[in-house]
Amino acid sequence: MQFLIVTLGCAKNEVDSDRMRALLLAAGFEETVEASEADVAIVNTCSFLASATEESVEATLQLAEERSTGVRECPIVMCGCVPSRYGDALAEELPEVSAFVRAEDEDGIVNVVCDVLGVDVPATPEEDAVPLRTVEGASAFVKISEGCDRFCTFCAIPYIRGRYHSRPADEIAAEVRDLMEGGVREVVLIGQDTGVWGCDLGEKDTLASLLRRVADVVRPYGGWVRVLYLQPEGMTDELVSTIRDVDEVLPYIDIPIQHCSARVLKAMGRSGSPEELHALFARLRSEIPGMVLRTTGMAGFPGETDEEAEELYDFIAEEEFDYCSVFAYSQEEGTRAASMPDQVDEAVKLERTQRLIDLTEQLGFAATASHVGERVRVIVDGIEEGDDGPELIGHAWFQAPDSDGAVHIAYGEAAVGDIVTVDLVDSFCYELIGEIVEEGL
């Protein structure tokens, strides 16, 4: 019997879908990418924002409508953040869905699928024999933790995913080793708050120690390690020196600041000030020369004044981040910020957001263009049909996969997963044009 997985939302959901896929394949199911061929469809949902919840529900209903006219019935299983957030209320609201699986229960997907299909649960290999992931491609996201203890006033994640807990280092290292054996050449460590990894494990367990452990695993394969979603408080001396001194760990630092105003940050349930953040980034640039910086900014948080919006704009302009994602504040049900006074008018919120986007694109395009003339290693992610024929698509160390643009290379003798040396000869927006360097040059 065949299953279809539709994944919505962030890279963490991609990881969860990979795990469910591995469990189903080990149980004897086959995967299809065609809804018309599926015996069961699994929708892994996102509920970080109200818009993401709406998208998840719409995708589910559209799939149900498509399958209602098919040649055979196809039960739908909804997994992930929407069931975790809304629980038992969904059964009445979405009768089109046969089963709901909260994020923490996804390892039981085989039993759920068999139940909705009305078939016996097949004998499966021992859990230790089931691959942790099934990944096709050169890069793979690896979750190092689940949940969050920060309880920022705008964020529903702690209510959806629960309190913070770290995955054991041995489990992470084993997953990375399996991925490398399968042809992956870059692992991207992710979590809601990666900087505090190990805080619930023991005094010697820190993100820096985990990075060194993972670097040891990827080194024989010539692989890379990247880490995302670091909070300012997580940038310890040990972590900074590890990023600087361990070759396999890329000097790519992603610190979502959300805002810089001390008053707004306090209202968000966060800490910091413009002075403290400027000092942090100055320190990082001094101690890790040539590093790349990514951040996230939020516009229109309740009570944000015109002056505070301008303060954030000026801060981003002064820091000249290589990459910066910008979001308009979303009034999320169940969060403290949703009931705060002085909610910013939607039109004002969107105007502030667009102004920040215009600035960050200007900075990002310039940062991308600054790499023209460099000779870099590029991981080949795929092959696409371009205007002048097939071309290799890859990314360099300063480009996080699925986030920061790509390097386009004239088709050559390289396969997905290969790491090739490339001269960067031109850029457009966040994209770069590269030429493979022949051996010996």
Closest alpha carbon to 295 in 267, 318, 268, 262: 318
Q: What's the chain's Rg over C-alpha atoms? A: 23
Determine whether the annotation assigns residue 155 to a binding site: yes
Determine whether the annotation assigns residue 10 to a binding site: yes
DSSP for 107-143, please give it: GGHHHHHHHHHT-PPPP---GGGS-S----SSEEEEE
Three-point CA angle 369, 407, 411, nearest 5°? 135
Cα–Cα distance, 401 to 140 (Å, whole number): 9
Cα–Cα distance, 355 to 358 (Å, whole number): 5
Neighbours of 391 (CB within 10 A): 20
Two tokens, residue 418 = 């290969």
Cα–Cα distance, 79 to 59 (Å, whole number): 13
Cα–Cα distance, 349 to 297 (Å, whole number): 13
Determine whether the annotation assigns residue 74 to a binding site: no
Cα–Cα distance, 317 to 223 (Å, whole number): 34
Which three-class secondary structure state does DSSP give residue 96?
coil
Cα–Cα distance, 67 to 285 (Å, whole number): 53
CA 135 to each of CA 20, 67, 142: distance values in angstroms, whole numbers, following the listed order: 12, 27, 11
Q: Which residues contact 211 (CB under 8 A, 6 or more apart)?
A: 189, 225, 227, 239, 242, 243, 246, 249
Determine whether the annotation assigns residue 152 to a binding site: yes
Which three-class secondary structure state does DSSP give residue 285?
helix
Two tokens, residue 194 = 């990666």
What is the identity of the amino acid at 225? V
Cα–Cα distance, 278 to 253 (Å, whole number): 15
b/e string for 354-375 if b means 16 or more Cβ within 10 A?
Answer: ebbbebbeebbbebbbebeeee
Two tokens, residue 84 = 């975790």
H-helix or E-strand spanning residue 224: strand 224-227
H-helix or E-strand spanning residue 43: strand 40-45
Residues within the annotated binding site? 10, 46, 81, 148, 152, 155
Residues within the annotated binding site for [4Fe-4S] cluster? 10, 46, 81, 148, 152, 155
